[in-house]
Structure 1
């Protein structure tokens, strides 16, 4: 969990429950309902939300997408002004 939240995302993964389950070698259904690891899913989602609210994005791909969206918006505004 800590590695994912630090941005150490494995190749082909994301900062999500599916990747957390894969890294822990546990079936992801164990993170839902009254299953044994449900409390870890709650903790993971809580910590992920705290990071996002603080403006930090642990998943490098999500950070890149956010950055590119902002850049795209700025470029569209500049283009509209120049026209």
Structure 2
């Protein structure tokens, strides 16, 4: 997306120097605006805050790539409800 000129929001819940380095590298390599926003995608309020900050940074959110997830392996009939909710 950056190669096609899209501004980019990078998100993770870890908030490490590597997170910011990736964000900066995207901006430098592709000449787009980038912003890093820390948010835990398992917390609805943080998801809403991330979208609000993205819109505030760039005026709107045009494309969303949902690439967040956790893994729990179990047969569906044994899958814990709290894992589905997470």
The TM-score range, normalised by the shorter chain, is: under 0.3
Which protein has the bigger strand share?
2
Task: Write 1 or 2 for the structure with the bigger share of helix.
Answer: 1
The two structures have a TM-score, normalised by structure 1, of 0.28
Structure showing greater relative contact order (alpha-carbon pairs closer than 8 Å, 6 or more residues apart): 1
TM-score between the two structures when normalised by the length of structure 2: 0.27
